[in-house]
């Protein structure tokens, strides 16, 4: 078993093109012995957002605080504390903070997403089709 306070995990800027005012903490992952999933905490500043992107793996999100929207392709869904989101594989999505304080959420992804190959599978929206299926840009 591992028990930590979330603030013991280093917070760093999200290193993806298209991320604005977005920070992430890796709370649990393969390096901690988790066999299947990794848990991350994101904090998006007011007016900030994650990149508009897709990837070939699912992820589950739990909103801790703040308010915003999540884009499912072109469709916006409002978000507030207590909301849960399931993002299916290859779906274009983006989280945006529309409130006046940080938007904080937990994000669970398969451990395979935490590898170099998993990171390389992420596609920015300009390299995706409108149906959400990731494709390489020409």
pLDDT in tens, 108-126: 999 988 777 767 778 887 6
Q: How many CB atoms lie within 10 A of CB 110?
A: 16
CATH of domain 12-35+58-118: 2.60.120
Break the chain into its structural domains and give their ranges: 12-35+58-118
Reported as a single tens digit per residue, the pLDDT across 64-78 is 999 999 999 889 999
Confidence of residue 137 (pLDDT cuts 50, 70, 90): very low
Among candidate residues 21, 34, 42, the one with its CA nearest the CA of residue 87: 42
Measured torsion, CA atoms of residues 2, 3, 5, 7, in degrees rounded to the nearest 10? 0
Q: How far apart are CA 98 and CA 79, in angstroms?
A: 9
Q: Which residues pair with 121 in a beta bridge?
A: none
Please state the rounded mean pLDDT for residues 25-33. 94
């Amino acid at each position: 078993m591992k028990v930590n306070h979330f603030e013991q995990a280093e917070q760093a800027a999200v290193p993806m093109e298209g991320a604005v005012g977005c920070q992430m903490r890796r709370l649990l992952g393969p390096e901690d012995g988790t066999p299947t999933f990794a848990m991350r905490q994101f904090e998006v500043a007011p007016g900030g957002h994650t990149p508009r992107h897709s990837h070939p793996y699912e992820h589950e999100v739990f909103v801790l605080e703040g308010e915003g929207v999540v884009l499912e392709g072109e469709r916006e869904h409002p978000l507030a504390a207590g909301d849960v989101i399931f993002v299916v594989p290859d779906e274009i999505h983006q989280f945006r903070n529309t409130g006046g304080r940080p938007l904080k959420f937990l994000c669970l992804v398969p451990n395979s997403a935490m590898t170099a190959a998993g990171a390389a599978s992420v596609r920015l929206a300009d390299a995706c089709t409108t149906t959400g299926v990731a494709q390489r840009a020409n």
